[in-house]
Amino acid sequence: MTGSAVNNAPLHATRTDAPDTDSAPRIGSVPGAITPVGTTVSVRVPGSTGNVGPGFDSLGLALGHYDTVTLTRIERGLEFDLSGEGAAGVPRGPEHLVIRAMQAAFDAAGAGELPPLRLRAHNAIPHGRGMGSSASAVVAGVLAANALLPASHRLSPDAVLQVCSHMEGHPDNVAPTLLGGLTISYEDEGRFHSVPVRVHPDVVPVVAVPDFEVATSVARGLLPEMIAHRTAAVNAGRAALLVAALGERPELLVPATFDLLHQPYRAQAMAPSCELMTRLRDLGHAALISGAGPTVLTLANGAEHAGRVAAAIEEIAADAASSAHEYQGRTVTWRVHVLRVPEEGAKVSVSTQ
């Protein structure tokens, strides 16, 4: 067995013509230069949170909660070995998101059909909770496919970001998953750009993951088509402040995470989460809805503060009078994880027999 690392360069990306990712993936013949049967590609991919506080569709933060995806070239067919979060509910066929992402990468590279593969995946990132599970699957698939391609067909870092962002619809989750840390993303005349920003080492994410899901499409559908100029101005100032708070001034995280643009409108879809977020903020903690929810993310300032946040979450969740404890006649269960912000994004390794 021999192994080699695949370098993941920083991405300051522009969008090229996007591939057609809606067509069904194809499993079959490939160019002769493809890596041989027995080649294994492993990808360790972090979760992420998008829409960070006031940074709707623009700020993304990597979360040190990882899925592991391993693809092996086999003689024929398409095989699956799936475990962990959501494994029972995902398809075991060409429509699996990792396989679709791999085919999108092959299409972008002009490499034709995917070869026969065995997909082994262990998921730690919960599905439908606003922690970037779909972005992580897309990134894992595109990076794995790229590693299987011959050097002459391999996608550039720019192109990797474009394929991933096209599949997700925007880059605010895939960019931190690829790069680590904080990313600022935007689209300009059909081109995606993402710039990484170092996060202060004292910033500690604490996530409270509820036992219910909210579809991103439902959460996005609650947003108004227009907002007041004053609201936009307030959010712009807080988003700018958040970049400074995450990078250099974590003591400013509470005012920097104030949002008027998306979280208030989504409250009706996740009342327990909004109750927990509001009570944490009332206690002086920088709590926000992670992505489209319903996970509540609190950005603590140091390990000691993170411990106090975790204790506060448990106390609020135990309060029988709170909708964070009981909602619509049932008890809400929360899983609390104290994480870190990884400085690096997804890591790829390749081995051959």
Was 323 annotated as part of a binding site?
Answer: no
129 known ligand binder = yes
CA distances to 64, 244, 265, 335 from 274, in Å = 23, 25, 11, 16
Residue 226, annotated ligand binder?
A: no
**131 known ligand binder:** yes
Residue of 296, 316, 294, 313 whose CA lies nearest to 305:
313
Under 8 Å CB-to-CB from 60, ≥6 apart: which residues? Answer: 48, 49, 50, 52, 171, 172, 173, 175, 176, 177, 182, 183, 185
Tell me, what amino acid is at 30? Answer: V
Q: Was 273 annotated as part of a binding site?
A: no
130 in a known ligand binding site: yes
Alpha-carbon distance 171 to 193, whole Å? 8
133 is in an annotated binding site: yes
Cα of first residue to Cα of last residue in the chain, in angstroms, is: 5
Q: Sign of dihedral through CA atoms 19, 56, 264, 271?
A: positive
Contact 236/55 with Cβ under 8 angstroms? Answer: no
**How would you label 188-197 residue by residue, b for 16+ Cβ within 10 Å and e otherwise?**
eeeebbbebb
Summarize the chain as % helix, strand, coil (round to 5): 35, 25, 40
In angstroms, the CA 291 to CA 125 distance is 13
Residue 136 marked as a ligand binder: yes
Q: Give the pair of three-digit tokens for residue 245.
A: 């708070």
- Answer yes or no: is 132 a known binding residue: yes
The answer to whether 89 and 96 have CB atoms below 8 angstroms apart is: no
Q: Is 272 annotated as a binding residue?
A: no
84: left (phi over 0), alpha (psi -120 to 50) or beta: left
The reply to whether 166 sits in an annotated binding site is: no
Can you say which residues are annotated as belonging to the binding site for ATP? 126-136
Can you say which residues are annotated as belonging to the binding site? 126-136
